């Protein structure tokens, strides 16, 4: 089973994403802050990290340092607009 980490500070959005992903047989974990999400992503194995780019204290430049090291595969989004999948 593929594991997905959702890093989202709005609980309703995170829960909705989780519900749909679990219906498709993904194992999903949610973190509500950028720091907690990063700590979890470094400590556990995930196939995909879904990251809200508008998290307080976590900007795209900071996230890019981890992606450039090929440590994670990110799906980035901002509200209703898909930005990038790598």
Structure tokens at 15: 């829960």
Rounded-to-integer distance, Cα 32 and Cα 52, Å: 10
Q: If DSSP codes are grouped into helix, strand and coil, which group holds residue 29?
A: strand
Residue 30: what pLDDT?
98
Phi-psi region of 17 (alpha: psi -120 to 50; beta: other; left: phi over 0): alpha
For 3-85, CATH number?
3.40.50.2300
Bridge partners, 31 (sequence order)? 7
Q: Diameter of the chain by CA atoms?
A: 33
10-residue stretch averages of pLDDT, the chain, 86 residues long: 92 95 97 89 88 74 62 58 50
pTM: 0.75
Domain ranges of the chain: 3-85
């Amino acid at each position: 089973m593929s594991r997905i980490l959702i890093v989202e500070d709005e609980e309703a959005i995170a829960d909705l994403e989780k519900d749909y992903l679990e219906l498709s047989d993904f194992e999903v974990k949610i973190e509500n802050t950028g720091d907690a999400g990063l700590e979890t992503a470094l400590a556990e194995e995930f196939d995909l990290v879904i990251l809200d780019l508008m998290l307080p204290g976590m900007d795209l430049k900071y996230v890019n340092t981890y992606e450039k090291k090929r440590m994670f595969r990110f799906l980035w989004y901002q509200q209703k607009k898909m930005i990038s999948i790598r």
